Amino acid sequence: MNKTLLAALLPLFVVGCAATPDKTALQAQGISTDGASKVAFRNVRVEGTTLKGSLKRIGRNPVHFGHLDYTVTDTSGKALQSGQTDYSGAIKQRRSPNASRFSIPLKQAWQPGLHHATLVWDDKTHQQ
CATH of the domain at 77: 2.60.40
If you write DSSP's letter for every residue of 31-42 in order, what string do you get?
EEEE-TTTEEEE
Residues near 123 by beta carbon (within 8 Å), at least 6 away in sequence = 36, 38, 65, 66
| pLDDT in single tens digits along all 128 residues of the chain | 545 444 444 343 333 333 444 666 677 777 888 877 788 888 999 998 999 999 888 877 777 788 889 999 999 999 999 999 888 888 877 667 788 899 999 999 998 889 999 999 887 765 54
In a domain, 128, yes or no: no
- Residue 59 domain boundaries: 2-122
- How many independent structural domains does the chain possess? 1
